[in-house]
Amino acid sequence: MESGCWLVALPAVDGRQYVYRVYAPEEALLADLFWEAWHCHDESAFPRAWDLFDAAAIRRVS
């Protein structure tokens, strides 16, 4: 199981998009990547991100 890097973009209530880098295996579930990024965002000082899975943009980077 090879670990990879994923970018997860979360839209927020202020109209911006916050992008988080998540390290996870290639076989990771998109929902798990979303929740990992959302929990990081939720603990920060940034305006609240939408907790809608369908609103997130998730892509793997090499």
pLDDT of residue 19: 93
Domain ranges of the chain: 3-61
Look at the alpha carbons of 48, 43, 52, 25 in this order and tell me if their dihedral is positive or negative: positive
pLDDT of residue 1: 58
Tell me how far apart the alpha carbons of residues 3 and 54 are, in angstroms, rounded to a whole number. 24
Tell me: the pLDDT tens digits for 23-41? 999 999 999 999 999 888 7
pLDDT at 60: 96
